[in-house]
Structure 1
Amino acid sequence: MPRLDVREITPVNRHDTIHEEFDRMGPGETLTIVNDHEPTPLYYEMAAEVPAFDEGAYEVRQTASDEFVAEFPKTEQ
């Protein structure tokens, strides 16, 4: 399962990097991202623009005051 800590990526490049990593995944895989804030804008962007994003299986949890871990699953198809 790919894991990407985007806190280490310049904010302007984060979404592009996440999309590239998601595109490289196979069907049924899940991209885990670690962020310094809840990735709500990214969730809506993925739901609107990426047909392979399984928004129903998306999960996010806050693990520290400045750490959010989000699961972006790719559909099986």
Structure 2
Amino acid sequence: MSEYELDLRDVAPPKRHPTIMKAFEEMERGETLTLVNDHEPKPLYYQMKEEVETFDAEAYEVEKEEQNKFVAQLPKN
């Protein structure tokens, strides 16, 4: 199982969701995309839950590590 990580803190906000969706699409089932973000990615979670059939919303996790550092795990099933 491979793991992919994207640090989005230096990516312009309008480019974040398309970057995430492209990376998630390229992954194999059973892999996890790790996101490092400057805020909790709740809007992304809800978008993926509704629009991405292979997103495992039940296994999604997010942790606040620092003031402006949230790390989210987006598994693909």
Q: Shared fold (TM-score greater than 0.5)?
A: yes
SS in 1 for 2:9: helix
Query: Which of 52, 62, 65 is residue 63 of structure 1 equivalent to?
Result: 65
**Match for residue 24 of structure 2?**
22
Runs ≥4 residues deviating over 4 A? none
**Match for residue 50 of structure 1?**
52
CA RMSD of aligned residues (A): 0.3
Identity %: 52
Unaligned runs of 5+ in 1: none
Letter in 2 for 1:34: V
TM-score (norm: length of structure 2): 0.96
Unaligned runs of 5+ in 2: none
| CA-CA distance at 1:8 after TM superposition | 1.5
**Match for residue 41 of structure 1?**
43
Q: How many aligned positions are there?
A: 75
